[in-house]
Structure 1
Amino acid sequence: MNIATTNQINQVKNSLELLEQFGIEIDLESILEEELEQGLPSDISNAI
């Protein structure tokens, strides 16, 4: 894993931790499912 990827992962992790502090929960699985149903590009489909 290169440094740019590590930095991106850390930014996402920090964002999720911040949301968690405020009691905001994100259902990432539902978001991904909806993106795939609508044919929208997603980071997961780009990685495959």
Structure 2
Amino acid sequence: MWFPLKLQKKYNVIMPNSELHLIPEEGHMFNGSRHQEILELVANFLKN
């Protein structure tokens, strides 16, 4: 499911402790060229 950027930004404001990271040229499948960076962001979020 894809949400427009406008809604992503809105949800990031209204959801406590949320984080929004925009990574150009990447999707939601964690299999692009920057997958390690994405996995580190997710791991750091889950640690905190």
Confirm or deny a common fold (TM above 0.5). Answer: no
Length-normalised TM-score, structure 2: 0.32
Length-normalised TM-score, structure 1: 0.32
* Greater Rg over alpha carbons, structure: 1
Higher RCO structure (Cα 8 Å, ≥6 apart): 2
